[in-house]
Structure 1
Amino acid sequence: MLPHQIKVVQALVSSITQGGRGMVGTPFPNQPEKPIKLYEFEGSPFCRRVREVLTLLNLDYEVYPCPKGGTKYRPIVKQLGSKMRFPFLVDENTGDQMYESQEIIHHLFKHYGKNGKTPSKYTHYPKIPTVALAGTIVNGARGVWVDKQIINRPAPEKLLELWGFEASPFTRVVRAVLSELELPFIFHNVAKERWQDYGPAKLRLKPGKYEPLPGGKREQVLKVMGDNIQVPYLVDPNTGVKMFESKEIVNYLQHQYGA
């Protein structure tokens, strides 16, 4: 098994392949009343496109992991949409259910963007996602296949909660484990809102005490985390656990819900 830090480096290179997409987002998101539900799996390049836009719009959403070989949520997608294809979005606010990453992206910008229009850089994706696929390979294809040792294990009673953003390599490592363990969770996007937010929690470009943008989403997130913002941050309402640090989170998830 690879050391944790090597996995983080692989995840970082995977994020770099996308040119920084999935890092920055609006500080004033148009968060829907009912949570958007996304059926997907971490290693899919098509799902990655959608997650990048969700970070750009800084939306929170529910994730139902559907790794290859999974048995918990893949049948639900087949039942709802008649096809076993991912990503699959369910938006109870508009009554829409849809496959196809590009269609989902248009939907997200239409209903939750600033002007209802999809920016040009998000309107034309290549049919073969070469760059994103390369990122999946670099990342060791983590989050693609289910951990077969947990196939018949029921999902937790309550959804776990994870704070992060798409391009965060530390968050990516945690999401891969959540996918492999088929653990459903609420993903709280904590996108970078301005240049002062850039850099790890202890090495931001703007030194000194961290001050979020007044009125922005990060100001609300700070109330959850305390005196600083650091991702990933996991809350498990099933056990009462609240924790930072990707390595500790991965160890917890594997011990609590793994083999």
Structure 2
Amino acid sequence: MLMHQVKVLQALASAALEGGRGTNGTAHPQQPPNALKLYEFEGSPFCRRVREVMTTLNLDYEVYPCPKGGKRYRDEMKKLGGRRQFPFLVDENTGTQLYESQDIIHHLFKYYGSTGRTPKKYSHYPKVPALALAGTLANGARGVWVNKKILERKAPEQLLELWGFEASPYTRIVRAELTVLELPFKFHNVAKERWQDQGLAVLRLKPGKYIPLAGGKREHVLKVMGENIQVPYLVDPNTGVKLFESAEIVKYLQKQYGS
């Protein structure tokens, strides 16, 4: 438990270094009919830029983890794009495959943003991602290297599903574990849509029973989770397991897919 609390503090520091990017997003995302596919790894600062924008646009997408030393999806993406460089986006809706985080970000705002233009704060990232890199280091460089115990294993038949948002420290811990275990998953963004959503599930700024924005994405998410929205939330269709709490989710993933 102490080790898990250390992970939480490191993940909090990582989110703070990025100024909270990847927390808030539109309540009415333009979700494409075919799932966006992102080949990436949690500890990459360039991948983090893209994930932050995915939360801003509140888009769901499929993640194919490519940690250093991994083979499962690194080889697959090289066949698709010709080289191992991250992040790598596959958008079957537009027939597009893209490397380079800035190019991917422009693409996402062009096709799935409300105006078709990239906001200024997302249009000119520095070539050296100093803050995001500092965030990776603050997070103990988790989600960078593969767990070598799983190298010869096959991926689960069905994608796991994870609800969260980029800047959530508890979600970050789970994503890091999914990365090192090379477990593909569908990530359901649960961006905060307004000030009433701010804060932890039991300590939101607006007291009382949580009521999501009518017609917003969180209203639909609440139907999945029950009486309250809490992230991370994991569903494993391969085993029927459904879990809240990052510590319990990590324990489950390690036992089911890492031991």
Partner of 1:162: 162
Taking the TM superposition and a 5 Å limit, the aligned residue runs for 1:17-56 are 17-56=17-56
Aligned equivalents of 1:175 and 1:8: distance in 2? 13
Please give the alpha-carbon distance, in whole angstroms, between the structure 1 residues aligned to 2:154 and 2:77: 18
Name the counterpart of 2:250: 250
Aligned amino acid, residue 201 of structure 1? A
* 1:159-238 mapped onto 2 (5 Å cutoff): 159-238=159-238
SS across alignment from 1:243: strand
Aligned residue number for residue 138 of structure 1: 138
Correspondence list, 1:54-65, <5 A: 54-65=54-65
What is the one-letter code of the residue matched to 1:36? L
User: Residue by residue, what CA displacement relative to the aligned partner does 1:44-75 show, whole Å, maximum 9, x if unpaired?
Assistant: 00000000000000000000000000010001
2:166 aligned partner, one-letter code: E
- Any idea what the Cα deviations from partners look like across 1:166-220, whole Å, max 9, x if unmatched? 0000000000000000000000000000000000000000000000000000000
Partner residue, 1:89? 89
d(CA) in 2 for partners of 1:227, 1:235: 17
The Cα of 1:77 is off from its aligned counterpart by 1.2
- For 1:196 and 1:82, the matched residues in 2 are separated by 45
Letter in 2 for 1:217: K
> What TM-score results when the alignment is normalised by the length of structure 2?
0.99
The structural deviation recorded for 1:14 is 0.2
Question: Which blocks of at least 5 consecutive residues in structure 2 are unaligned?
Answer: none
Quote the Cα distance in structure 1 between the aligned partners of 2:234 and 2:2. Answer: 22
| 1-structure distance, mates of 2:10, 2:257 | 24
Structure 1 length-normalised TM: 0.99
Counterpart-to-counterpart distance in 2, 1:129 and 1:24 = 21
2:85 alignment partner, SS class: coil
1:47 aligned partner, one-letter code? C
Which residue of the partner structure matches residue 69 of structure 1? 69
* CA root-mean-square deviation: 0.8
Q: Percent of aligned pairs with the same residue?
A: 74
Asked whether 1:111 is paired with 2:111, we answer yes
Q: Number of aligned residue pairs: give it.
A: 259
Q: Matched residues in 1 for 2:118 and 2:76: separation?
A: 29
Shift of 1:153: 0.8
* Segments of 4+ moved more than 4 angstroms: none
Structure 1 position 101, deviation (Å):
0.1
Query: 1:130 is matched by which residue type in structure 2?
Result: A
* Code of the aligned partner of 1:161: E
Structure 1 unmatched runs, 5+: none
Residue 234 of structure 1 aligns to a residue whose secondary structure is: strand
- Cα distance change of structure 1 residues 34 and 243 upon mapping to structure 2, 3 Å threshold: same
> What letter matches 2:250 in structure 1?
V
Matched, 1:148 2:135: no
Q: What secondary structure does 2:133 align onto? A: helix
Q: Distance in 1 between matches of 2:21 and 2:150?
A: 32
Looking at structure 1, the residues matched to 191 and 121 of structure 2 have their Cα atoms a distance apart, in angstroms, of 19
Deviation at 1:2, TM superposition (A): 6.6
Distance in 1, Cα, partners of 2:239 & 2:125 = 41
Distance between the aligned counterparts of 1:206 and 1:115, measured in 2?
30
Query: Equivalents in 1 of 2:242, 2:77: separation in Å?
Result: 31
Deviation for aligned residue 1:76: 1.0
